[in-house]
Structure 1
Amino acid sequence: MSDHPDMDCAPAGPVEQHELFKQFEGTWKAEVSLWMGPGEPMQSTGTMVNTLDLGGRYLKQDYKGDAVDGPFPSFEGRGFWGFNDVTGKFEGLWIDNASNQMGTEQGDYDESSKSWTMLGEMSMPGGAKCGKRSVIAVVSDNEHSMEMFFTGPDGSESKGMHIRYTRA
């Protein structure tokens, strides 16, 4: 290896943090609660299939909703979750057929709570930005959850989504 940073371009292999993705491999049933404002959330279900990709560097997520009607009929989404060993952060990318935005997040893992806290930002109609915080928590080998919170213009946070995943 060279002392010159431009010369250190050897491909990086998976590191210890990538091992954490193995627990999410497989097929999961999803129970989704979605808040579009005050009041009771909308409910839906779906299936998430998670596979390790590119030599175990990424968790590839493929989601398909069960609903054929409602606010998001035939909902589908794709995600990638990885660990950036340069920044020391976990990174996520999400796309779906309910939006034309690519959602990105960065965050950290807390071993004591077996959870990730991921932070991101969304563009709103009119160009304003909205902060986003996701918490992914491992409950057991056969259950995990994802909660998503949005930050309003006044800085207050509101829950937007909760997904309970159980191994199929």
Structure 2
Amino acid sequence: MKMSYRVGGLLAAIVCLTNPVFAKDAGTAAASASTKESTKDSAQARALDSAMTPGEGQKRLAAMIGTFNVAIRTWVDPSQPPIESSATSVGAWVLGERYVQMMLAGDLQGQPFNGIGYIGFDNVGKQYQSTWMDSGSTGMTWYKGGFDASGKSATMKGSVPDALTGKPTPVELRVKMNDDGGHVTELWGHGLGKKMFKMMELRYTRSK
């Protein structure tokens, strides 16, 4: 009896494979699966292309490209007058106009001061990202945020370790684009107090 069941099962399988109706259904199922896989591959390709292609988010940073004279004001104590200094900054596209590189050189409180920063727009995360490093520190600061509806003001948030405690403290980078092609960058933080205040202002005036 067991042998009969096995033979019967084998015959049924052969009938299914050789019957035109069953063969047609099998072919249709295979074609459908292939179409779904092709659609999935196309969607992935479009998503990857969108993720890597510069667009409107990057174009908004074009105002930062060029050579600028920078007037720097620094506050150690918000109740006291700021310390004033100057620098030159060069902004340039890098990696196929995906990011802006900012190279700053000048003086701060009578000492040479140099900084390097990058800013770009993440097409997938839909937000701006920036990093900054300079000769006044050994740590890099990372910021994330976006522009307001006007497209001329941006607020980006990050954190830095407190020099005394080592604990992370929030900082904000506030950027304002001017109609004359320049821009103003403000660094806000807590300093030695609990209330956030403007610690540094960099006013960029286009020279080239």
- Among 31, 41, 58, the alignment partner of 1:18 is 58
- Among 117, 123, 127, the alignment partner of 1:89 is 127
Higher Cα radius of gyration: 2
Percentage of identical aligned residues: 28
State the number of aligned residues: 163
Instruction: Indicate yes or no: 2:85 matched with 1:47.
Output: no
Equivalent pair of 1:130/1:152 in contact (CA under 8 Å):
no
Determine which structure has the larger helix proportion and give its number.
Answer: 2
Aligned equivalents of 1:164, 1:140: Cα separation in 2: 13
Could you list the runs of 5+ residues in structure 1 that have no partner in the other structure? none
Could you list the runs of 5+ residues in structure 2 that have no partner in the other structure? 1-39
Q: Deviations over 1:48-97 (max 9, x none)?
A: 10001101100000000146x62xx1110001000111111100010111
What secondary structure does 2:81 align onto?
Answer: coil
What secondary structure does 1:17 align onto?
Answer: helix
Q: After TM superposition, where is structure 1 displaced by more than 6 Å over at least 4 residues in a row?
A: none
Length-normalised TM-score, structure 2: 0.71
Cα RMSD of the aligned pairs, angstroms, is 2.3
Determine which structure has the larger strand proportion and give its number.
Answer: 1
Q: Deviations over 1:91-148 (max 9, x none)?
A: 0010111100101100011132611101010011221211101110012133210111
Which amino acid counterpart does residue 44 of structure 1 have in structure 2?
Answer: S
Aligned equivalents of 1:151, 1:39: Cα separation in 2: 15
Equivalent pair of 1:131/1:152 in contact (CA under 8 Å):
no
Length-normalised TM-score, structure 1: 0.87
